[in-house]
Amino acid sequence: MCGKTKSELKKAGKTNALKYIEWGETQKTKEGLSWSNVPSVKDRKLWWDVGENKPGDLMINRFVGERFYMPTNPKNSYLGDVVFEAVFNNSEFKQLGPILANCTLTALSAELEGRVNLGEGLLTTYGPEIQRFLLPDPSLFNKELKLKLQKTFDKLSARPVKPIFEEVKMKDRQQLDSLILEALGLDPKVYLKPLYYGLTELVRERIDLGKMRGKVKKAKIATDTEQIKNQVIEAVLPNGVKKFPEDFLDKPLKINEFETIPVSGEPLKLGALFMGQHDVVAENFTYTAANTETAKYIVYSQKPNLFMVSVPNDQQIIVNAVQKYEIYLKDLRQKLHTALVDQISDYKKADTLTEQIFAEYGLPQIY
């Protein structure tokens, strides 16, 4: 989070944040649009600034499995893009809205309005669907009923939300939904069981359909995984991967600008950190670097059967190269993962394939 201008960052000595912003301004989307000009940020005063958080009345999950719930946000937490914030425009809804949003009638509305187009049988809800959710009218509740509703909801919300198949068996859930049905003029003895049956059957059908789709996808993925992986590599890495450190130095180092350190031909990794010094280790090998950034530089520089690493004498060169490389690795990992998810719609499989690609190209994990 950064609400300062570039000049303010420079004046305050926040050079890493400034460099990160300037690096972002050199990046483009796959459509060739600068990051600072994408529609979601281009109209901001500072394109990188997420602004102050003004919490909504509810948090709404974009993806719903078997559990239906819409929490409040009393601690004003910042939310990621898989959670939406909803605001009630009506004062009566401000009071009862969180309770009514968590009743089973609203869950049924969400199930009917949401999109069933993802793997694993997930229900997806975005702004247009959320705006169509049907909530009971709070004006139907008198003072006595509001108190009963609040008391019941307080009890219900003190426990974890269960999958809908178990949730509808809970006494506090049944009591809350009965109070709401009564306010709507519907006899709970007549309508509660059909309400629960209808919702659970819809959820069960959605999940079963997702499993069927998943089986088809998995069979296809097993056949085409290598082809998909190669297509993604060709799209994301048409020119191969950048090499460390040479592609992350502002200019080639002269002979008097670095020292040569002997290393093991085996894979290196960071070892113990003690009093600011950081060990670089391999089997039967240890080298103690002056600091963590230098240790990372050595680890990132190591190649199979390479027994010498050239380390710059200038610490700032080391820090800059390591930072640029780690940003590159994070960005590359994200691009590969996103491209793989687009192809196979399986996040776990995309994780595995991303790791395979990193291993095949000899790319390190980020420390």
Whole-number pLDDT of residue 89: 83
Whole-number pLDDT of residue 215: 61
Whole-number pLDDT of residue 7: 94
Residue 295 CA to residue 311 CA, distance in Å, equals 10
Give first-to-last CA distance, the chain, whole Å. Answer: 22
Nearest CA to 204 out of 66, 62, 63 is that of: 66
CB 115 within 8 A of CB 153: no
Whole-number pLDDT of residue 305: 78
Mean pLDDT by 10 residues, the chain (367 residues): 92 93 91 88 90 83 93 83 84 88 95 79 86 90 94 94 96 97 95 95 88 61 76 91 92 89 87 91 90 94 86 94 94 93 84 91 84
Whole-number pLDDT of residue 222: 55
Residue 69 CA to residue 257 CA, distance in Å, equals 60
Whole-number pLDDT of residue 57: 86
Whole-number pLDDT of residue 117: 67
Whole-number pLDDT of residue 349: 86
- DSSP, collapsed to helix, strand or coil, labels residue 307 as coil
Whole-number pLDDT of residue 118: 63
Whole-number pLDDT of residue 144: 94
Kindly state the DSSP code that residue 283 receives in the 8-state scheme.
T
Could you write out the DSSP letters of every residue in 173-221?
HHHHHHHHHHHTT--HHHHHHHHHHHHHHHHHHHHHHHHHHHHHHHHHH
Which residue type does 230 have? Answer: N
Tokens of 104: 């089973």
Q: E strands along the chain, which residues?
A: 58-61, 63-64, 83-86, 123-124, 258-262, 269-274, 277-282, 285-289, 308-312
| Total-model pTM | 0.52
CB 271 within 8 A of CB 280: yes
Whole-number pLDDT of residue 119: 60
CB 106 within 8 A of CB 86: no
Cα Rg of the chain (Å, integer): 28
Instruction: Kindly state the helix (H) or strand (E) to which residue 286 belongs, with its residue range.
Output: strand 285-289
